[in-house]
Chains A and B, each alone.
Chain A
């Protein structure tokens, strides 16, 4: 079993705060206000990202945007080989039809999660646009997917892992790069 250890911290608490604030402004700018926007967080860490973005949008524009949560377990392309038995409740408490929908997640990597999320959203209806906001883009895309709003671009090696710790779930805010320690005999 491979153990990982922290190699570097690429974003600290304040850096995350500033990035999210900037993303919130960019969303409002690109969509000309909050009127038609809806946010959908990709579970599990996307939930925190989406809550914070929604809060900032309300602070800036005074408008509450609809927020949804999406579990993409059933849309993964690797169900046959990797069962994810930890399934969470998807809640989309608004009509997706015609919306400018912003998917929110913590880390963008191969793009497969986002592909699955788009398939899932289409089963709820036909949005006007689907946009993507991520806290960190670590590169190494395997599908033609790109983020519209990025907190920070972090170049990584494939063997490394990127972990976002976000207050509500993990206790403190930071984004770390992890590297493999020596192989530990289990």
Chain B
């Protein structure tokens, strides 16, 4: 059934669009964008006045937990959470159980997503077998089955020689290596940023240097091998600075930042709330400001949530032993709108750049534009929608959010994937 998105502010800097217009979707593709469009019979109209219509958002860093921890999240529930959050596609990290390090494991994710997924799922394969950092994984086979990039996320490859081999091999298949930058001998069991808060709370600290030394190493290895490198969840000012310098030198690297690092700092941890325990940890106010500045000036290419669902009984442990991570798919857009767009630091073309165009470019995913003939992956955001982050608001199976209880402004109201509406009026309908 044809769909008309009527009267929204249509924004896509890729095609120079930023105006109130209508978008007509027919048979899964964008038929036309403009006003007074000729509508086929039976066209359903979705009113988008006062809303913003953009190319579909992609979250390149999520944990779907299937196979292995279906109690925390499944591809079905995770993609519903993605739709609720305004995303048309997610990349699923491989640290499942078993680890996604073979073609058949990738195929499982692809097939499962086709079966039950509300949005597109792009599998990310493991860099090394079992993510143990010892032996290369079958990247060729995984690419053939649909893997779009590789990562040992959750860990970094500690041995530099091994990381070089990994990058050289990935290059052969044109794949991007996503690096979680952490020197384990420096991070040494740290659970919060090393500094004022680790001292005051008596918790082991994870110094910025543990990330920055690996950022430096991984950038240098990318330069050496010519492999495309994407840096996951940057958390420090020093990391942003290194990315800026590397890009100025023309090294092909990209970087992402998570909403919790953009909008929270280490002071939030003062209460020992395990929902604020992440890897890498929340850092200082100066780091946070540098990350925001990096996102605004393009040094950081995209926002990626690192959506990490955890079972309640595991997060209700003592701070030092609770698992790391917060959910993020559903709170990302409200946080960006409330803290950056409403504050005037970002405009909607910037949102498209950091949440739709940037993520796809980082991993070489197919482009999506708001022009005739393109796949109709579309995100519509209501900038005035009020959001209160309560337990029953989440579509995700897990409730461990660093922003629980927050009152925010702005939310996705419609999401189309290949022309099919999966979010309507802010509610998931698949």
Report A-B touching, CB under 8 Å.
Answer: no
Give chain A's interface residues, CB within 8 Å of chain B.
none
Give chain B's interface residues, CB within 8 Å of chain A.
none
